[in-house]
Chain A
Amino acid sequence: MSAVAVHSLWTTAADPISKIDAPKIEYGQLSPTLIVVGAALVGVLIEAFVPRKSRYYAQVFVSVVALCAAFAAVVALAADGYGTTRARIAAMGAIAVDGPSLFLQGTILLAALVGLFTFAERRLDPAAHGNRVDSFAAQAASVPGSDSEKAAVKAGFTTTEVFPLLLFAVAGMLVFPSANDLLTLFVALEVLSLPLYLLCALARRKRLMSQEAAVKYFLLGAFASAFTLFGIALLYGYAGSVSYATIAQVVDGNVPRLDPALANTMGNDALLLIGAAMVVMGLLFKVGAVPFHMWTPDVYQGAPTPVTGFMAAATKVAAFGALLRLLYVVLPGLRWDWRPVMWAVAIVTMLVGAIVAITQTDIKRLLAYSSIAHAGFILAGVIATSREGVSSVLFYLAAYSFVTIGAFAVVTLVRDAGGEATHLSKWAGLGRRSPLVAAVFAVFLLAFAGIPLTSGFAGKFAVFKAAAQGGAVPLVVIGVISSAIAAFFYIRVIVLMFFSEPRSEGPTVAVPSPLTTTAIGVGVAVTVVLGVAPQYFLDLANQAGVFVR
C-alpha cells in the first residue's frame, strides 16, 4: 500500500465525521448521573495513584462532594421545572428527565449519602494492630483464614475501593428509573448490579458467609438479567424498536413503520406477552417480590451491614422506579393483562414476607423478609395505575429508604467478640443496657410496622388509599391483614429489647463516630417528620407523579 493510499484512507476515515449526525447530548439535564460517574472514575484513579494512607480520606471526600453536587444538580433541574412543565426526553430518547426520575434520583442520592456515612465508619470494629478499620475486608483477594489475610490485616490494609464501587452502583441506580429505552434499562441494570455483587463479598467478619452471599446474589442476578435481556429481544421483535414510546404505540395498535426484516414477528401478541413478562420478571427480582425473592434473606444476612442497608434502600427505589415507568409508559395498553398478574404477585409478596418473617431468629434476615413484605405494599400502589398511585409509591420509597438505612446502621452498633451480634437472642434486654439505642431502633420498627405518627404509616396510608381508589379493595384488605401479621414480629423485637432480662454475656453497644450517628439521626428525623408533617413531601411526590412520554 502506497503512502498516498494510506493518506487517502486517513482522509476518508476522517471525512465522514461531517456526514454522521453527532448525537445530541443534553449534558445539563444528565448532570446528576455524569457527576457521579465522573467521581467514580476519579475514585478509581485515587486507588491507583494516591498513597495508601491518604486514600480513605480522599475517597470519602470525593464521594461526599460528588453525591452532594449531584443532589444539588437534581434540585436545580427540579427548580427549573424539568420535573413538571419542562419534562422531556433527553440523550436521543434514551433518558427521560421528568418528575418521577428527578424525585427518585434525589431520593437515591440522599440515601446513598447517608449510606456512605455508614460505609466510612471506622470506630466500631476494634482497631487491628493500631489501625482503625471499617466493615470491609482488609484485602478482598486474600483467602479467608490464610496467611496473606493475616498479613493484610497486620499491614492495616482497608478496601477503599468500596467508595468508587458505591458510586458506580449509584450511577446505575440514577439511570435505572429514568431509562427510556430497553437497552439503556439493561445497561443501567448491569451497572448497578455488578458493583453490588462485589460489595456483598467484602465483609471483614464472617467472610465465607459474605462471599457465599455474593455468589448467590450474582448467580441469581445473572439469571434475572438473562431473562430481562431475552425479554428485551422479544419486545424488539414485537415492536421493531427498543424505545419505550414506540413500543407503547405498537401496543396501542399503531405500527409506525413496518420493518421488513421483522415483518413476521411485528405485532405478534405472543412475543409481547412473553417479552413483557420476562422484563417485568427481571425488575421484580431486583425489587425482591415473591416468587423472585429467594436471594434476599441470604444476601441481606451475608453482606456487610452498611452494604445491606444501602442496597435495601437504594436498589428498591431504583427498581420500583424502573418498574413504574415500564408499566405506566410502555405497557398501559396491556393493563388488563398485567394487572391480574401483579395483583397475585402483590398478595403473595405481602403474605409470604410477613408470615415467613415470624420464624426468623436473625435480625438481618428478619429485616430482609420485612423488606419483602414492604415490596408487596408498594406493589399495591403500583397496581393503582393512577397519578395517585405513582405519587404514593414515590412517597413510600422515600420514607422507607431512610428507615431502612437507619435500622441497619443501628444493627452495626450492637456487637460482641465475633463482630455484629445479629442473632435475636443476643438483643434481649438491650433496652436496659442502652435505652437510647433501643429506643431509636424501636422507632424504626414502629415505622416499619406502620404505626401512626411515623413515616411508615403515612406511606402505607398513601399506597392503600391509591389502591382503594383504583378499585383494588381486596388488595387493601389483604395488605391490612399482612400489616397486622408483620406488626407481630416487629413487636417481638421490641419485647425482646425492653421486657426481657439482659444476658450476662450479651453484646455491647459500640460508640459510633459522628458518621453513623448522622446516618441514624437522619433516619429518625425523616421518620418523624414524614410521619407528623408529611404535607410538603406528599405535595412534592404529587407534583412529580407524571411520566413524560
Chain B
Amino acid sequence: MSFPLLTATAVLPAVGAVATAAVPAARRTAAKWLALAVSLGTFALAVAILVRFDPGGARYQLTESHSWIAAFGVRYELGVDGIAVALIGLTALLVPFVMLAGWHDADPLETGSRRWRPTQGFFALILALEAMVIISFEATDVFLFYIFFEAMLIPLYFLIGGFGDRAHEHGEKAASTQRSYAAVKFLLYNLVGGLIMLAAVIGLYVVAGSFSLTEIAQARANGSLHMATGVERWLFLGFFFAFAVKAPLWPLHTWLPNAMQESTAPVAVLITAVVDKVGTFAMLRFCLQLFPEASKWATPVILVLALISIIYGALLAVGQRDIKRLIAYASISHFGFIIMGIFAMTSQGQSGATLYMVNHGLSTAVLMLIAGFLISRRGSRLIADYGGVQKVAPVLAGTFLIGGLATLSLPGLAPFVSEFLVLVGTFTRYPAVGVVATFGIVLAALYTLVLYQRTMTGPVRKEVSAMPDLRVRELVVVAPLIVLLVFLGVYPKPVTDIVNPAVKQTMSDVHKTDPKPEMEAAK
C-alpha cells in the first residue's frame, strides 16, 4: 500500500492543532512557530499531491478507501480530481500567510486565568479548520464530506466569536456583543443549511443505498439506479441549499458581511477565501454529479439568483462605509460569478469558475490582509476615518491598490482570466445573462477605486500622519501573493491544465456539450 498522502495532508494540521493547543500558557511564541511550521509542512504535502497528480490520468487519484461505519454504509473514501487539487493547494498556501498576518492578533490583552490561552487557541483553531477544509475537499463519500462540512463550523465559530479587532469605534463591550452576534448568525445560517442537507443525505441513502460518490455516479450513468424526477429534485434542493448558504448566494448571504466585519482580517480571509469555497466546490462535485437532471432543471433559477448576487453585492459594496463590509459585499458579487460559471454548463464557464475560486482566494487575501494592517494601525474600520495614506505609507497603499485592481479584474492580474472565461462561457449559452453580469464588473471598478480614492489619496488626515509603512512580516505576507496574482494573470496554464480534465468529466456527467460557435449563422 502506498503512502496515504491525502490522509496525511489532513491529519498533519489536525495533530498540529492538538499540539499547539497543548503548549503551556507562557510559551505562546513557541506555539505560534509550531503552528506556522505545521502549516508549512501541510503546504509541502499539498505540493506533493500536486506533483503526484496526473492531469491526464484517472478521474479520482491518490484514492484511499477504508471501511468506517458499516452500519450506515459509510466508507472513509478519499480521492482528488483537478478541481480538488487546485483548492487544496489554495488552502494550504493561504494558511501560513494568514497565520503570519495574524501573528499578534491573539496576544492576550489582560492576564485572565492562568489557564486562559487565547494565542494557543487561535492558532490551534486555524489548524483544525484547515484540516477539516482539506478533508472535505478530498472526501468522495457523501457522508464523510457532510461530517466535515458541518464540523468545520465549530472552529470557525470560535474564531469569529472569540477574536476580533482590537480597535472598535464603540468600545470593547459593544465589540464583544456584536462579535458574538456575528458568530451566532454565522453558525445558525450554516447549521440550518447543513441540517437541511442532512435530510437530503439520508434521503439519498434511502434511494441509492450507498454514500459513495463514485458508486452512485456510476450506477446513475449505467442506468442501474433510477431516481424519480421529483425525488431527484428534492434531494438536489437539499444539497444545494446548504452549499448556497455556505457560498453564499443571494438571498442566503446576510451572515457573511457580519462575520467578515466582526472577525479579524486573517479570519475573514479564511472565511471567504477558503471555507466558502467548499460551498462552490461542492456544487461542482456533488450537485452536478449526483443530480445532473435536477441541476439542469434548476439552472434558470440559479442563474437568476447568481445574477442578483453579482449586481446586488456590487451595489451594496459601493454604498458601504466600513472597509471590511465593503470587501464582504464584493465577495458576494464574486461568488455570484463563480456560481454563474458553474451553472452555465459550458466548459469555459466551469473552468473559469474553478480558476475564479483560486484567484478570488488570492485577491481577497491580499486586499483583506492589507485592509487588516491598515485598520490595526488607525484603529477604525470606517472609510471616512482615512485619507492621504499613500503619502505616509506608500508601500501599503501600493499593495492595497494592486489587491483592489485584482478584485476589479484588471487584465494582467489573475482574476481577469477567470472572469473572462466565466463571462465567455455564460455568454455562449445564455447571452442575456452574460450581458447583465458584465455590469458587475463596472460596479466593481467603482467600489474598488472609490475605496482607494477615499482612503489613500487626498490630504493627509491628522490621525494617519504618523502611520508606519508595512513591516517586514507584513511584506512577507503580501509580496508572494502579489507575485502569484501577476504570474497567474500572465500565465494561467499551470492551473487550467490541472482543472480542465476534471471539468470535462463534470460536463459529461450532466450530458452537456459546449454550444457550437455560430459564426455562419451570424453572416
- Taking residues whose C-beta sits less than 8 angstroms from the other chain, chain B's interface range is 35 or more
Question: Cβ of B446 < 8 Å from any Cβ of A?
Answer: no
Question: Cβ of B148 < 8 Å from any Cβ of A?
Answer: yes
Q: A469-B206, A487-B188 are in contact. Are A461 and B72 (CB under 8 A)?
A: yes
Looking at the assembled complex, report how far the CB atom of A59 sits from the nearest CB atom of chain B, in whole angstroms: 36
Query: Which of A453, A461, A500 has the largest number of chain B CB atoms within 10 A?
Result: A461
| Cβ–Cβ contact B151 & A451, under 8 A | yes
- A492 and B180 CA atoms in complex are apart in Å by 9
* Per-residue A-contact encoding for B167-203, CB less than 8 Å = 1, 0 else: 0000001001001100110011001100110110011
Closest B residue, CB atoms, query A449: B191
| Cβ–Cβ contact B72 & A499, under 8 A | no
**Chain B residues closer than 8 Å to A477, beta-carbon distance:** 199
- A473 and B70 CA atoms in complex are apart in Å by 23
For B112, give its contact among A432, A476, A500, A533 (CB under 8 Å).
A432
Question: Cβ of B115 < 8 Å from any Cβ of A?
Answer: yes
Looking at the assembled complex, report how far the CB atom of A495 sits from the nearest CB atom of chain B, in whole angstroms: 5
Question: Cβ of B161 < 8 Å from any Cβ of A?
Answer: yes
For A436, give its contact among B67, B115, B179, B196 (CB under 8 Å).
B115
> Which B67-81 residues have a C-beta within 8 angstroms of A?
67-72
Question: Cβ of A452 < 8 Å from any Cβ of B?
Answer: yes
Question: Cβ of A501 < 8 Å from any Cβ of B?
Answer: yes
Question: Cβ of B158 < 8 Å from any Cβ of A?
Answer: yes
Question: Cβ of A206 < 8 Å from any Cβ of B?
Answer: no
For A495, give its contact among B70, B146, B161, B196 (CB under 8 Å).
B161
| Cβ–Cβ contact A464 & B199, under 8 A | yes
> Which A330-374 residues have a C-beta within 8 angstroms of B?
none
**Chain A residues closer than 8 Å to B179, beta-carbon distance:** 499
Looking at the assembled complex, report how far the CB atom of A129 sits from the nearest CB atom of chain B, in whole angstroms: 32
| Cβ–Cβ contact B191 & A487, under 8 A | yes
Question: Cβ of B117 < 8 Å from any Cβ of A?
Answer: yes
Question: Cβ of B116 < 8 Å from any Cβ of A?
Answer: yes
Q: A432-B113, A480-B195 are in contact. Are A491 and B188 (CB under 8 A)?
A: yes
**Chain A residues closer than 8 Å to B115, beta-carbon distance:** 434-436
**Chain B residues closer than 8 Å to A88, beta-carbon distance:** none
Looking at the assembled complex, report how far the CB atom of B172 sits from the nearest CB atom of chain A, in whole angstroms: 9
| Cβ–Cβ contact A535 & B69, under 8 A | yes
| Cβ–Cβ contact B202 & A464, under 8 A | yes
For B68, give its contact among A453, A476, A487, A535 (CB under 8 Å).
A535
Query: Which of A451, A465, A499, A500 has the largest number of chain B CB atoms within 10 A?
Result: A499
**Chain B residues closer than 8 Å to A435, beta-carbon distance:** 113, 115-117
| Cβ–Cβ contact A501 & B180, under 8 A | no
- A105 and B367 CA atoms in complex are apart in Å by 61
| Cβ–Cβ contact B146 & A452, under 8 A | yes
- A441 and B183 CA atoms in complex are apart in Å by 19
> Which A441-498 residues have a C-beta within 8 angstroms of B?
446, 451-453, 457-458, 461-462, 464-465, 468-469, 473, 476-477, 480-481, 483-484, 487-488, 491-492, 495, 498
* Per-residue A-contact encoding for B136-179, CB less than 8 Å = 1, 0 else: 00000000001110110110011001100000000001001001
For A465, give its contact among B68, B184, B205 (CB under 8 Å).
B205
| Cβ–Cβ contact B70 & A492, under 8 A | no
Question: Cβ of A542 < 8 Å from any Cβ of B?
Answer: yes
Closest A residue, CB atoms, query B112: A432
**Chain A residues closer than 8 Å to B112, beta-carbon distance:** 432-433
**Chain A residues closer than 8 Å to B158, beta-carbon distance:** 498
| Cβ–Cβ contact B69 & A538, under 8 A | yes
| Cβ–Cβ contact B202 & A535, under 8 A | no
Closest B residue, CB atoms, query A467: B202
How many interface residues does A have (CB within 8 Å)? 39
Query: Which of B115, B150, B202 has the largest number of chain A CB atoms within 10 A?
Result: B202
Question: Cβ of A32 < 8 Å from any Cβ of B?
Answer: no
- A89 and B356 CA atoms in complex are apart in Å by 67
| Cβ–Cβ contact B162 & A499, under 8 A | yes
Query: SS class of chain B's interface: helix, strand, loop or mixed?
Result: helix
| Cβ–Cβ contact A484 & B176, under 8 A | no
- A464 and B238 CA atoms in complex are apart in Å by 15
- A53 and B15 CA atoms in complex are apart in Å by 50
Looking at the assembled complex, report how far the CB atom of A102 sits from the nearest CB atom of chain B, in whole angstroms: 19
**Chain A residues closer than 8 Å to B148, beta-carbon distance:** 452
| Cβ–Cβ contact A484 & B191, under 8 A | yes
**Chain B residues closer than 8 Å to A15, beta-carbon distance:** none
Question: Cβ of A539 < 8 Å from any Cβ of B?
Answer: yes
For B192, give its contact among A436, A484, A499, A501 (CB under 8 Å).
A484
- A538 and B72 CA atoms in complex are apart in Å by 9
Closest A residue, CB atoms, query B199: A480
For A453, give its contact among B147, B184, B195, B205 (CB under 8 Å).
B147
| Cβ–Cβ contact B198 & A468, under 8 A | no
- A497 and B469 CA atoms in complex are apart in Å by 39
| Cβ–Cβ contact B69 & A534, under 8 A | yes
| Cβ–Cβ contact B116 & A492, under 8 A | no
- A481 and B197 CA atoms in complex are apart in Å by 11
**Chain A residues closer than 8 Å to B191, beta-carbon distance:** 484, 487, 491
| Cβ–Cβ contact B150 & A499, under 8 A | no
**Chain A residues closer than 8 Å to B198, beta-carbon distance:** 461, 464, 480
**Chain B residues closer than 8 Å to A446, beta-carbon distance:** 154
Looking at the assembled complex, report how far the CB atom of A167 sits from the nearest CB atom of chain B, in whole angstroms: 34
For A501, give its contact among B70, B176, B195, B206 (CB under 8 Å).
B176
**Chain B residues closer than 8 Å to A535, beta-carbon distance:** 67-71
| Cβ–Cβ contact A499 & B161, under 8 A | yes
> Which A407-443 residues have a C-beta within 8 angstroms of B?
432-436
* Per-residue A-contact encoding for B191-231, CB less than 8 Å = 1, 0 else: 11001101100110110000000000000000000000000
| Cβ–Cβ contact A468 & B173, under 8 A | no
**Chain A residues closer than 8 Å to B154, beta-carbon distance:** 446, 451
> Which B483-520 residues have a C-beta within 8 angstroms of A?
none
| Cβ–Cβ contact B180 & A495, under 8 A | yes
**Chain B residues closer than 8 Å to A484, beta-carbon distance:** 188, 191-192, 195
Looking at the assembled complex, report how far the CB atom of B186 sits from the nearest CB atom of chain A, in whole angstroms: 10
Q: A433-B113, A535-B70 are in contact. Are A465 and B206 (CB under 8 A)?
A: yes
Looking at the assembled complex, report how far the CB atom of A442 sits from the nearest CB atom of chain B, in whole angstroms: 9
> Which B106-126 residues have a C-beta within 8 angstroms of A?
112-113, 115-117
**Chain A residues closer than 8 Å to B113, beta-carbon distance:** 432-435
- A539 and B206 CA atoms in complex are apart in Å by 19
**Chain A residues closer than 8 Å to B162, beta-carbon distance:** 498-499
* Per-residue A-contact encoding for B325-340, CB less than 8 Å = 1, 0 else: 0000000000000000
**Chain B residues closer than 8 Å to A501, beta-carbon distance:** 173, 176
* Per-residue A-contact encoding for B48-84, CB less than 8 Å = 1, 0 else: 0000000000000000000111111000000000000
Looking at the assembled complex, report how far the CB atom of A540 sits from the nearest CB atom of chain B, in whole angstroms: 10
- A432 and B153 CA atoms in complex are apart in Å by 21
Closest B residue, CB atoms, query A492: B184
For B180, give its contact among A434, A499, A539 (CB under 8 Å).
A499
Looking at the assembled complex, report how far the CB atom of A378 sits from the nearest CB atom of chain B, in whole angstroms: 16
Looking at the assembled complex, report how far the CB atom of B181 sits from the nearest CB atom of chain A, in whole angstroms: 9
| Cβ–Cβ contact A495 & B72, under 8 A | no
15 contacts between A and B (CB under 8 A): A433-B116, A435-B116, A436-B115, A452-B148, A461-B72, A464-B198, A468-B206, A477-B199, A480-B196, A484-B192, A487-B191, A495-B184, A498-B158, A500-B176, A535-B70
Known: A433-B113, A484-B195, A500-B180. 6 other contacts (CB 8 A): A452-B148, A453-B151, A481-B195, A487-B187, A501-B173, A538-B70
By a beta-carbon cutoff of 8 Å, the part of chain A in contact with chain B is 432-436, 446, 451-453, 457-458, 461-462, 464-465, 468-469, 473, 476-477, 480-481, 483-484, 487-488, 491-492, 495, 498-501, 533-535, 538-539, 542
The 3 closest A-B pairs by CB, nearest first: A538-B71, A452-B147, A499-B180
